[in-house]
Structure 1
C-alpha cells in the first residue's frame, strides 16, 4: 500500500465515523425535541 492509499483509507474511516456521529446526534435531537413538545403543554 502506498502512502496515498493509506491516507485515503484513513480518511474514509474518519468520514464513516463522522457520519455515524452525525446520525446519532440527529436522532438525539429528534428524541429531545419530541419530549420537549410533550412536556411543555402545561
Structure 2
C-alpha cells in the first residue's frame, strides 16, 4: 500500500510539473531540451 501511494505521489508530481511547464511555455521547445527521453 505504501509503495502504491508513493508511486501515485511521484507520477502525480511529475505529471503536474510537465503540465505546468507546457502550459506556461505554450511551445514544447523547453520540454524537448529538458526531457529528451520523452521524444524517442
Q: Same fold (TM over 0.5)?
A: yes
| TM-score normalized with structure 1 length | 0.58
Q: Given the alignment of the two structures, is residue 16 of structure 1 paired with residue 8 of structure 2, yes or no? A: no
Superposed CA offset, 1:1-42 (max 9, x none): xxxxxxxxxxxxx01110011100000000000001111xxx
| TM-score normalized with structure 2 length | 0.61
Larger RCO, structure (CA 8 Å, separation 6 or more)? 2
RMSD: 0.5
Moved over 3 A (4+): none
